[in-house]
Structure 1
Amino acid sequence: MTHWLPDIKTGSGPLYIRIADAAEAAIKAGTLANGAKLPPHRDLAFDLKVTIGTITRAYAVLRERGLVSGEVGRGTYVQGGMRQISPSVDPVTSAFGGTRALVPPSGKLRFDTTAAVDVGQAEIIGRVMMEIATEHPSEISSYTRTISPDWAEAGRRWLSQGSWAPDPQNILPQLGVHAGVNAVMAAVTGPGDRLVCEHLTYSQVARSATLMGRRVVLADMDEQGVLPEDFERVCAREHPKAAFIMSSGQNPTTSCLPLSRRKEIIEIARRHNVWLIEDYLYGGMIADGVPTLAELAPDRTFILNGLSKSVAAGVRGAWVACPPHMAQRVRLTQKLVSGGLPFLLAELSARLVLSGAADEIRSRVLAELAVREQAARTLLAGREFRSHPYLPFLWLKLPEPWLSGTFKQAALDQDVLIDDEDEFKAGRSDRVFHHVRVGFSEGRDRSISIAGLKILNRILDQAPTGESAVI
């Protein structure tokens, strides 16, 4: 075994990326020769005063870069006869890329995605696209300069919940919910302003905010969502301009804010003059009947929903309903941030909704998700997890002695890609949840999804061993 100790005081990005970068530099310099055995996870973790999970993730990055190979029980070795690989991770990728590989490894079961299930929607979408190309050749060949009333009406229908519907004058089509959130952030905040996020959330919004020069501050949460008392504390201490909240079907925990708590959050936001950005992408799928933040506080809430999880992720269709007099401002920031909206995708999204095709596809997607979720309940009987029949993922609590990152690596070793809890942390947090998110919407053949769940269940029955051991 080679005695090697990287310097992690230099470099940028998370600790595991610094360790991986240091190992890559040592391999290229010849300090770590071909065939050299890297220190065991436990030994290196002890020497560096970091967790074993951090070393596991660092070694996983090295494997993804093609620099090392390993076998359980034998250790991790510098790959002999290295192939050419992509350049070392740059600071931007390290800081904002999250825990997923930018290019996922091939040949794996994708349980790290929650895109809409393939129920044959491509045929419908293809037919509608052909109609648009035939009827609007000039609009397709030019830039989109106006917003069709049909686009706003489609957004009104898709954003409506129960008896409530937003005003079409305040609705803008977007190139996906994520892009819409970015446009809203750019409209209501400036560089240095603070955005409140829960400890666990769709963290790519937090990374986008940081990349745009905003500062993310965390509010604590429990099994029902963000805690009003901690939201109050953060607002009083940090003076944020906006808060990003997934009020129903929260990703990754599946939680739904009770009505009483929603009212508390709104009252706190009013007192501290905080804009609310409500991501209702999953909430629209479960339709729990609880009034949205936008219904309760339309004067300060931006609500967004789209097609990616329930109709087709590749369409990237979405809409935002803005508070009165804010739509034009968001439209401008949308253009500046994203370059503008493609006519084809905006028209396609609107036609799918207005024709009823989107509702038909969504019904089929939700029916398939319900079957898969029930299969997960059967296969994981006795395990502790949270799920919903109409959500494409579950939030799985890991038994002792599993850690989130270690279990993710064990799943990867069995050719299953899942997300550990770090993927959903919006910022530095001392909280440890010991959970992983398991998505099961990938693929048209549900037997593949069931096979992946069986693999994960078998791994749960095993204690971590070999190079992933945690004792």
Structure 2
Amino acid sequence: MPFTHWIARLKSSTLPAYQLIPELIAQDLQQGRLAPRERLPPLRDLALKLDLNYTTVVRGFAQARERGLIVSRPGLGSFVRGSFIGLPLRAGTGAEMTMNLPPEMADHPACQRAQEQAAGSMALANFQDLMRYQDFGGTARDRHLAAQWMAQWVPDAVPERLLVAPGIHSVLLALTSLLVKPGQSLCVEPLVYPGIKAIAAQLGTRLHPLAMDEQGLIPESFEAACKSTPVGALYLCPNLHNPTTATLPIRRREQLADIALRHSVPIIEDDAYGMLPTAVPPPLIEYAPELTYYISGLSKWLGAGVRTAHVFAPTTATHQRLAGALRATTVMASPLTNHLVSDWIEHGICQEVLTAMREECRWRSDQIRQRLMPFDVRTQPNGFHAWLPLPLPEDGASLASDMANQLRSLGVAAVAGSTFSTDRNPPEGLRICLGGSLTRDDCGRALQAVVDALENRVTDPASRLNPSAAGPFSGPPSNPPPAAPAS
């Protein structure tokens, strides 16, 4: 029974057990140990397991119902309530500490030229035309320029199979609703972009966690899932994985594509971070073009306010179906933003800003490695986030959650592994982001705060390197896998 970790908390807490039970349910839901709509054990069984009086557990569940954490149905039992998992947004407040944002480089010449180009573009544009409804997917010019830009990563990029959409998240929502039918599962990594968890909760989609190690998704686990359960699609982040920074080796990409082809499973390839490295392995769309939806965007290197994504569909027919799904959920991408991005691509601004961002991210990644290497940190060149494994606590409490809260109060963008967990076994680890409004001086102070927190919480250096503390990883960090140069 997965509720045995409650025992230590119940024994050590000064709260009455019936008052603590709702808190424990809420914490397990937040950390991924409980999933929305999961059935809870019978009250008598739970009381026996926790060594509590039956009426105490009944009172605890009653309070949980009053708080909206669970719902009970006569003859069926109690279920975790399937609430929407919100994503915090902000403009200058501490909630940004949970978002993975690229460094802001307002004073860099490339970014200043982008601002100047934006002003010029708007001055010369047919403004009234940009204020009207337009066909979904961008104008012919938008798609043509986007295909030229994306050819650096997808050599066979053609505008006929490309859609311009309002951000990667909107594409993921549309694809999940389009590809995963009732009764099917969406195969995912054990740690994923939290937005996928939010989308799945909203749509009632079941996530099927696969196995992962320090190199990324393990193909054999995908094969096993295809043989044992109805799979609607495979979702993965193959480059600079969020949160672990893993980059999937070429051989595994080939294996995953082969499995998908044999079982006719569509692939959702989320390449949000794939533009940051100077070289990455070929995308999965090259190995399974007839099944792969390849998605990229600008938010992880230009700025989160530019809600522009580019998505390639496998065929003309799937392109049309995806356009319909996106139109139903978003109506269209902003013509103003599309026009601006197209001008940036056409005048070389996007390439300038991306080159500058790579240089800045390399400096920040170097700082992370230098300061946190004794703590087994995992990062990649040109990335702005890192994965920091933590030792497993002995008392059942979450060291990662406590440290993340402590660091965020100090202005450090730290997020506990439970935020990303899909397998109800949250790893003890933190994602540390050195992007956003942090200056280089701020980065030094942020990393020192992380070191201080680690030294205060972890006294045995050897325990920091315990492989079991790395969550889904089974061994030491590896060098980046061989990569094909970007064209």
Interval of TM-score (by shorter of Structure 1 and Structure 2)? 0.7 to 0.9
Give secondary structure in 1 for the equivalent of 2:456. coil
1:96-145 deviation per Cα after TM superposition (whole angstroms, max 9, x unaligned): 326x7x46797759553322321123662464255236422222221122
CA, structure 1 residues 246+18, in 2 after alignment: closer, same or farther (shift >3 Å)? closer
2:269 match: secondary structure: strand
Shift of 1:90: 8.6
Q: Which residue of 2 aligns with 1:80?
A: none
Q: Quick check: 1:228 aligned with 2:216?
A: no
Alpha-carbon RMSD across the aligned residues, in angstroms, is 3.2
SS in 2 for 1:380: helix
The equivalent position to 1:124 in structure 2, one of 110, 114, 118, is 114
The aligned amino acid for 1:429 is: R
Post-superposition offset of 1:240:
0.8
Match of 2:133 in 1: 143
SS at match of 1:173: strand
Q: Which residue of 2 aligns with 1:356?
A: 348
**One-letter amino acid matched to 1:344:** L
Is 1:307 aligned to residue 295 of structure 2?
no
1:293-329 Cα distance to aligned partner (Å, 9 max, x none): 0111111000011110111210111100110121111
Paired residue for 1:332, among 313, 321, 324? 324
Unaligned runs of 5+ in 1: 20-45, 49-87, 466-471
- CA-to-partner distance for each residue in 1:172-194, whole Å, 9 max, x for gaps? 00111111122222332334432
Distance 2:24 2:171 in 1: 29
160, 185, 197: which one aligns with 1:169: 160
Q: Deviations over 1:68-118 (max 9, x none)?
A: xxxxxxxxxxxxxxxxxxxx88999983326x7x46797759553322321
Q: CA deviation at 1:3?
A: 4.3
Whole-angstrom CA distance in 2 between matches of 1:12 and 1:329: 43
Bigger drift between 107-116 and 234-243 goes to 107-116
1:165-314 matched pairs, under 5 angstroms: 165-314=156-305
- Establish whether residue 429 from structure 1 lines up as the match of residue 417 from structure 2: no
How many pairs does the alignment contain? 396
Which residue does 1:443 correspond to in 2?
Answer: 437
Residues of 2 paired with 1:234 and 1:433: CA distance?
22
Identity %: 24
- 1:112 corresponds in structure 2 to 98
8 Å CA contact 2:386, 2:431 repeated in 1: yes
Matched position secondary structure for 1:350: helix
1:399-445 Cα distance to aligned partner (Å, 9 max, x none): 465722122133245443410001111x3423x43211000012162
Residues of 2 paired with 1:3 and 1:47: CA distance?
Answer: 16
The amino acid across from 2:407 in the alignment is A
Aligned AA for 1:95? S
- Residue identity in the other structure for 1:406: D
Contact in 2 for aligned 1:159/1:165 (Cα 8 Å): no
After TM superposition, the score normalised by the length of structure 1 is 0.76
Question: Secondary structure of the residue that 1:95 maps to in structure 2?
Answer: coil
Equivalence for 1:5: 17
- Counterpart residue type for residue 151 of structure 1: D
Conserved in 2, the CA contact under 8 Å of 1:158 and 1:305?
no
- How far the C-alpha of 1:357 sits from its partner, in A, is 0.5
Residue 158 of structure 1 deviates from its aligned partner by: 3.5
Q: What's the counterpart of residue 95 of structure 1?
A: 83
Query: Corresponding residue for 2:457?
Result: 463
| Kept after mapping to 2: 8 A contact 1:307/1:316 | yes
Q: Residue 233 of structure 2 contacts residue 265 of structure 2 at CA under 8 Å; is this kept in 1?
A: yes
Which residue identity is paired with 1:115?
A: L
Q: Counterparts of 1:314 and 1:200 in 2: how far apart (Å)?
A: 25
The 8 Å contact of residues 89 and 96 in structure 2, kept in 1 or not, is answered as no
Measured in 1, the distance between the counterparts of 2:132 and 2:400 equals 48
Q: Is the 8 A contact 1:396 1:435 kept in 2?
A: yes
Question: What TM-score, normalized by structure 2, do the two folds share?
Answer: 0.73
